[in-house]
Structure 1
Amino acid sequence: MYHSVDDGAEDPYDITVPPARLERQLAWLGRRGLTGVGVGELLRAHAAGRSRGLVGLTFDDGYADFTEHALPLLRRHACTATVFVLPGRLGGDNAWDADGPRKPLLDADGIRAVAAAGMEIGSHGLLHERLTTVGDAVLHEETHRSRALLHDLTGTPPAGFCYPYGAVDSRAVRAVRAAGYAYACAVDPGPLTGPHALPRIHVGARDTALRLRAKQLLHPLRRPALPEDV
């Protein structure tokens, strides 16, 4: 689970990975015979029994720096990824972060360019609302309307959803499933773990090869295994 890829010292939320660090992390995967792919591709490969050697890569929030810094590195290392974007904030910024620097988000042309480059586009909701606390009308907008807008923008309805802040409960899962998404990503969904609440590992600027290896080993111990039919 990545967010922004950029050089910059101010990062109170630990969401920014410098390009040089991302390159080393992708190289670390490659040295271990692992290839980064979008989550949709990973799940299809899993269903077909051929997911060995694949790792799902996600980039939340749809930061504009993805095209400048992350995309060239993913291509260099023969990787793809899922980019979860906010169609209600096209060309805006991360206004939901009270502290830290404002980071520009992808606009419509940027999202189409990312899709044309072979990346999977998924929905991160409409405006980055915490789905566990909003009313029914906002929940519907964040799940259903965001999917419709991305369908209009890219020509393809997104298969994947990502819960803002990783906040998920049974009500949010039902809304995402009802909106037509094939899968959804969380962070640590606990007993909700399944196709519409997939656990992920946060990757940050401090994650060296040693830390990545530790996270790889701890992941199955800290999070329940996915059901066999996912």
Structure 2
Amino acid sequence: MRDTAERPGTVPWVAMYHSVGDRTCDPYRITVTPERLERQLLWLRARGLRGVSVAELLAARARGADHGLVGLTFDDGYADFVTDALPLLRRHACTATLYVLPGRLGGDNTWDSPGPRKPLLTADGIRRAAAEGMEIGSHGLTHVDLTAADDLTLKAETVESRAALADLLGRDVDGFCYPYGRVDARVVAAVRAAGYRHACAIDPGPLTGPLALPRVHIGERDTAVRLLLKRRLHRLRRRPVVGV
């Protein structure tokens, strides 16, 4: 069964993942197993859908050619993206946007304390993901709540993280992702001033737009039925996205 075409001004479906790997200890439900991710990608493909990066989704949407495309995003830049997610994305002809933290290269997710430590990608890992066709976006420098940050920190987390990634990749970085999904008008203005062209949140409410795209959390419990319900509810509950 294939989805019907979406009308202009509706909400693009953007899925939010984090880690892909072992779920032995997963108190924040940020991890899906490779087996579950593959079943979810198979579900998309069976419905005539294909996962793409946010940049590709928005570019296609601007041309009126986004039918059948779903945005895939992976937050935090976990090292398991390269080892466990990337092979599955390649197998199913999908791309994704990987949001990374250039201030924590090769570190771990200290912001999730208490909780299991998960290694983050090194610079080489990020370059490998980019070489495989993945979009690299900024998640800030160090994963802080930008709505609670002072002006200097906000500028560093947006401007300096973009510059660091541009230097690492040798190309401009257009995408940003708000840590914890938290966003307000001041933070959106800072992201715009830093030069980003699109940014992802979770539920930005009235701020919804190209710099505050809503997303749907996808986890280990999301079977085919739950995915179908989440896709339908996303269209009903989210504000239309205009300007792309």
Alignment TM-score, normalising by the size of structure 1? 0.99
Looking at both structures, which has the greater relative contact order when contacts are Cα pairs under 8 Å and sequence separation is at least 6? 2
1:128-139 correspondence to structure 2 within 5 Å: 128-139=143-154
Matched, 1:109 2:142: no
| 3-state DSSP of counterpart to 1:218 | helix
Matched, 1:209 2:216: no
1:162-173 correspondence to structure 2 within 5 Å: 162-173=177-188
**How far 1:225 moved relative to its partner?**
1.2
Matched, 1:12 2:27: yes
Aligned residue number for residue 224 of structure 1: 239
Aligned residue number for residue 175 of structure 2: 160
**How far 1:76 moved relative to its partner?**
0.4
Maintained 8 Å contact 1:39/1:82: yes
**How far 1:139 moved relative to its partner?**
0.1
State which drifts further: 4-13 or 22-31.
4-13
**How far 1:112 moved relative to its partner?**
0.4
Letter in 1 for 2:54: V
| 3-state DSSP of counterpart to 1:103 | coil
Match of 1:191 among 197, 206, 216: 206
**How far 1:123 moved relative to its partner?**
0.2
Aligned residue number for residue 137 of structure 2: 122
Q: Distance in 2 between matches of 1:155 and 1:73?
A: 26
1:27-176 correspondence to structure 2 within 5 Å: 27-176=42-191
Q: Distance in 2 between matches of 1:214 and 1:173?
A: 30
Letter in 1 for 2:41: L
Maintained 8 Å contact 1:91/1:104: yes
Q: Distance in 2 between matches of 1:35 and 1:186?
A: 21
Q: Distance in 1 between matches of 2:71 and 2:194?
A: 23
Letter in 2 for 1:190: G
Q: What RMSD in Å do the two structures reach over aligned CA positions? A: 0.5
CA deviation digits over 1:190-211, x for unaligned, max 9?
0000010000000001000000
Matched, 1:2 2:2: no
| 3-state DSSP of counterpart to 2:51 | strand
| 3-state DSSP of counterpart to 1:46 | helix
Letter in 2 for 1:28: W
Q: Distance in 1 between matches of 2:52 and 2:67?
A: 12
Q: Which runs of 5+ in 2 are unaligned?
A: 1-15
Q: Distance in 2 between matches of 1:61 and 1:100?
A: 15
**How far 1:49 moved relative to its partner?**
0.7
Letter in 1 for 2:21: D
CA deviation digits over 1:59-114, x for unaligned, max 9?
00000000000000000000000000000000000000112210000010000010
Alignment TM-score, normalising by the size of structure 2? 0.93
Maintained 8 Å contact 1:12/1:99: no
**How far 1:8 moved relative to its partner?**
2.4
Q: Distance in 2 between matches of 1:79 and 1:188?
A: 25
Q: Distance in 1 between matches of 2:70 and 2:101?
A: 24
State which drifts further: 162-171 or 92-101.
92-101
| 3-state DSSP of counterpart to 1:184 | strand
Percent of residue pairs identical: 69
Q: How many residues align?
A: 229
| 3-state DSSP of counterpart to 1:56 | strand
